[in-house]
């Protein structure tokens, strides 16, 4: 039985997650014997879930074992009583609690890698579970031998080792361990897969359960190819704001993508944004795709207190909500004035009879006199003609004279009579650099 020690370096401080089950105890035993020179320092972490009578006994055992081997050990006592009372998934809640503690401990220990005892049978079980629970299309089909977490690496060096080899090693070396009898409870889906379904497949001489491993390898290759398509699309058809607060996709190009690539593009982009409740269901995505394909100029698809996802003319936009607040201002003389993301220059040539000028945002019914022709135009129509997104319209400065006449609308319009007196510049991007 061999561990994949290529996943860490000899100078690494490794941490082993030990449950006292046969898998983690065999892993620890091998690290303390055969692979003692594969690392610089070793520490153990143990979580006492407090869900079984044997939990305390197991915690005391691992404390004694690590003391005898002179290994630093840290034990975390979890309280999952609320989870049990509410009928929430204990497995998932316990896992999340474990990894929150691991994430907190790793930097405190100044450790490089966390090793867990997942093995080949766990891999097969995971592949089977993800296939038949609809979790195979948008994520890895199985467990990865190495994954990056915040500040450390999560490593599974026994992922190619069958469970029977672990038991064989345990018997050969008389490795002490505890059997978790809740693993035999087939009311848990994964236990049922492990204890009943996979053994039934194995018993059939015409079936080979390890073919699932080949399926995962093929699936990984397809995901890599898909990710290359995603990267190419983003490179050529996405505009990312320098501050990463807005991503705009070319709507037509997005509509022309295959369904799986559309999903992968959004999964990737949503996963990059803090505060977006990712992942979204495929049903939600499908509704968005249908909206994007329609001849709709603007529509909001999703919003949180921080993010907006919307269709804006020829763009599919993911953007942070703009919290800029702009107040109306009265300008009594020439000078430079800031108005949200705009800079307004009033020249000394401005006639005194026009003061005070007012700088404000749009109001219902706003109209301005057309240059070089009779008649007026609504400010709202100006915004539509220039395809200004709805969320930007309330932030655009409108300059009016003392008499209330509109002489400038952002960078979109300037009355010819005042072309040398007023200058408006958008400086939002410059302010955020």
* pLDDT tens digit sequence for 42-73: 999 999 977 677 888 999 999 999 999 999 99
- For residue 84, the model assigns a pLDDT of 53
**What is the SS3 string spanning 320-378?**
ECCCCCCCCEEECCCEEEEECCEEEEECCCCCHHHCCEEEECCCCCCEEECCCCCCEEE
C-beta atoms surrounding 130 within 10 Å:
19
- For residue 277, the model assigns a pLDDT of 66
- For residue 271, which of 216, 220, 234, 242 has the smallest C-alpha distance? 234
Residue 431 has pLDDT above 50, yes or no: no
CATH architecture of 5-209: 3-Layer(aba) Sandwich (3.40)
Binned at pLDDT 50, 70 and 90, residue 79 comes out as: confident
| CA 114/CA 101 separation, integer angstroms | 12
Binned at pLDDT 50, 70 and 90, residue 433 comes out as: very low
C-beta atoms surrounding 363 within 10 Å:
9
pLDDT digits (tens, 9 = 90+) for 382-400: 999 999 988 889 889 999 9
Residue whose token pair is 């035999």: 184
Distances (CA, A) of 376 to 313, 368, 384, 406, 432: 25, 5, 15, 11, 36
Residue 37 has pLDDT above 90, yes or no: yes
More confident residue, 306 or 198: 198
Are 424 and 342 within 8 A, CB to CB?
yes
Are 111 and 15 within 8 A, CB to CB?
yes
Mean pLDDT of 402-425: 95
Mean pLDDT of 412-424: 95
Name the average pLDDT for the chain.
91
Residues above pLDDT 70, as percent of the chain: 94
| CA 290/CA 281 separation, integer angstroms | 15
pTM (predicted TM-score): 0.74
Residue 263 has pLDDT above 80, yes or no: yes
Task: Give the range among 46-50, 264-268, 344-348 with minimum mean pLDDT.
Answer: 46-50
Task: Give the range among 138-152, 232-246, 277-291, 418-432 with minimum mean pLDDT.
Answer: 418-432
The region that residue 275 occupies, defined by phi over 0 for left and psi between -120 and 50 for alpha, beta otherwise, is left
More confident residue, 326 or 41: 41
Task: Give the range among 156-170, 317-331, 333-347, 411-425 with minimum mean pLDDT.
Answer: 317-331
Binned at pLDDT 50, 70 and 90, residue 89 comes out as: low
CATH architecture of 225-320: 2-Layer Sandwich (3.30)
Task: Give the range among 30-34, 139-143, 278-282 with minimum mean pLDDT.
Answer: 278-282
Binned at pLDDT 50, 70 and 90, residue 88 comes out as: low
Residue 15 has pLDDT above 60, yes or no: yes
pLDDT digits (tens, 9 = 90+) for 304-314: 878 889 999 99
Give me the residue spans of the domains in the chain. 5-209, 225-320, 329-432
Residue 432 has pLDDT above 60, yes or no: no
- For residue 429, the model assigns a pLDDT of 55
| CA 408/CA 415 separation, integer angstroms | 6
What are the beta bridge partners of residue 247? 240, 318
Binned at pLDDT 50, 70 and 90, residue 85 comes out as: low
Task: Give the range among 48-52, 279-283, 314-318 with minimum mean pLDDT.
Answer: 48-52
């Amino acid at each position: 039985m061999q561990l994949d020690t290529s996943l860490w370096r000899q100078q690494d401080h490794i941490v082993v997650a030990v449950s006292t089950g046969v898998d983690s105890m065999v892993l620890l035993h091998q690290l303390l014997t055969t692979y003692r020179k594969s690392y610089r320092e070793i520490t153990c972490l143990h979580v006492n879930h407090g869900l079984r009578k044997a939990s305390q006994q197991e915690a005391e055992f691992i404390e004694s074992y690590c003391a005898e081997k002179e290994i630093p050990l840290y034990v975390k006592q979890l309280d999952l009583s609320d989870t049990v009372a509410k009928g929430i998934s204990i497995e998932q809640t316990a896992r999340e609690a474990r990894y929150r503690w691991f994430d907190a401990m790793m930097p405190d220990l100044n450790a490089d890698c966390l090793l867990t005892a997942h093995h080949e049978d766990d891999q097969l079980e995971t592949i089977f579970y993800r296939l038949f629970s609809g979790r195979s299309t948008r994520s890895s089909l199985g467990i990865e031998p190495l994954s990056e977490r915040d500040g450390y690496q999560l490593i599974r060096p026994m992922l190619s080792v069958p469970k029977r080899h672990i038991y064989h090693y345990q018997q050969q070396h008389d490795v002490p361990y505890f059997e978790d009898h809740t693993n035999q409870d087939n009311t848990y889906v994964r236990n049922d897969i492990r204890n009943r379904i996979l053994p039934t497949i194995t018993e059939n001489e015409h079936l080979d359960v390890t073919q699932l491993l080949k399926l995962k390898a093929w699936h990984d290759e397809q995901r890599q190819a898909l990710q290359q398509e995603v990267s190419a699309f983003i490179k050529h058809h996405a505009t990312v704001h320098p501050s990463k607060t807005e991503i705009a996709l070319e709507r037509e190009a997005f509509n022309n993508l295959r369904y799986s690539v559309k999903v992968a593009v959004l999964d990737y982009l949503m996963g990059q944004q803090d505060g977006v409740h990712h992942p979204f269901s495929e049903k939600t995505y499908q509704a968005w795709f249908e909206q994007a394909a329609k001849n709709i100029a603007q529509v909001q698809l999703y919003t949180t207190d921080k993010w907006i996802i919307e269709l804006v003319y020829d763009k599919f936009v993911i953007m942070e909500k703009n919290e800029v607040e702009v107040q109306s201002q009265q300008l009594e003389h020439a000078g430079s004035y800031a108005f949200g993301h705009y800079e307004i220059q009033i020249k000394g040539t401005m006639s005194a009879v026009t003061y005070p000028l007012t700088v404000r945002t749009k109001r219902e019914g706003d109209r301005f006199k057309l240059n070089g022709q009779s008649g007026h135009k609504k400010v709202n129509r100006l915004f539509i003609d220039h395809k200004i997104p709805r969320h930007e319209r309330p932030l655009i400065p409108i300059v009016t004279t003392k008499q209330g006449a509109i002489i400038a609308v952002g960078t979109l319009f300037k009355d010819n009579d005042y072309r040398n007196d007023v200058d408006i510049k958008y400086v939002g991007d410059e302010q955020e650099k």
